[in-house]
């Protein structure tokens, strides 16, 4: 009986160690946002960040004075998408101790990519759908960096 409990305890410890190793590897690669803890944290912060972005953008067009140059670009993308891109870049940056400038660059690049995809979808819907089908058939579907 004691031997069985010791074996179960050892197996549980091995499972925890394997999980932590997986998360640590993703963090080291700058993919903290793709780990299970990262996904949970991001899902909780997207809504409040989206609301804040919406307020920020609306205020910049309704209040007088100098405003951030980013607002003209942020209004081109859905606030939820911008919030998701921002959260992912922040979590990935924190995991790799990236500089603020690098994280800001990743956020801008991600939002720019989303705008490009939206324009591509709008201007060439049949080609966009064909590419989307190819991605769905790809063996890489669901892998970090594939957008699925």
Domains of the chain plus CATH, in order, are 2-137 (1.10.1320.10)
Per-residue pLDDT, 36: 76
Residue 80 has pLDDT above 90, yes or no: yes
Cβ proximity of 141 and 135 under 8 Å: yes
Residue 103 has pLDDT above 70, yes or no: yes
Per-residue pLDDT, 19: 66
Residue 133 has pLDDT above 80, yes or no: yes
Query: With the CA atoms of 21, 34, 28 and 70 taken in that order, what torsion angle do they form, in degrees rounded to the nearest 10?
Result: -160
Rounded to the nearest 10 degrees, what angle do helices 79-95 and 36-62 cross at?
130
Better-predicted residue by pLDDT, 105 or 146: 105
CB atoms closer than 10 angstroms to residue 79: 21
Better-predicted residue by pLDDT, 123 or 32: 123
Per-residue pLDDT, 142: 58
Q: Quote the tokens at residue 140.
A: 């890489």
Please provide the average confidence, as pLDDT, over all residues in the chain. 81
Angle value at C-alpha 86, between 85 and 87, nearest 5 degrees: 95
In whole angstroms, what is the distance from residue 29 CA to residue 55 CA? 34
Rg (CA), the chain: 20
Q: What is the mean pLDDT of residues 94-117?
A: 87
DSSP-derived letter for residue 67 is -
In tens, the pLDDT along 21-77 reads 776 676 666 666 777 778 888 899 999 999 999 998 888 878 777 777 778 778 888
In whole angstroms, what is the distance from residue 105 CA to residue 62 CA? 27
- Residue carrying the six token digits 């405003």: 67
Sequence-distant (≥ 6) Cβ neighbours of residue 91 within 8 angstroms: 32, 33, 38, 41, 42
What proportion of the chain, given as a percentage, has pLDDT over 70? 83
Question: Confidence band (pLDDT; 50, 70, 90) for 148?
Answer: very low
Question: Whole-prediction pTM value?
Answer: 0.68
């Amino acid at each position: 009986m004691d031997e069985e409990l010791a074996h179960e305890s050892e197996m549980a410890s091995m499972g925890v160690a394997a999980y932590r190793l997986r998360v640590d590897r993703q963090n080291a690669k700058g993919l903290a946002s793709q780990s299970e803890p990262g996904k949970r944290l991001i899902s909780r912060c997207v809504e409040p960040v989206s609301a804040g972005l919406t307020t920020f953008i609306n205020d910049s067009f309704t209040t007088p004075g100098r405003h951030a140059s980013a607002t003209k670009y942020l209004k081109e993308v859905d606030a939820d998408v911008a919030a998701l891109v921002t959260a992912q870049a922040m979590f990935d940056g924190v995991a790799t101790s990236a500089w603020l400038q690098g994280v800001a660059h990743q956020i801008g690049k991600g939002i720019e990519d989303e705008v490009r995809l939206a324009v591509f979808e709008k201007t060439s819907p049949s080609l966009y759908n064909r590419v989307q089908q190819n991605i769905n058939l790809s063996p890489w579907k669901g892998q970090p960096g594939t957008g699925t």
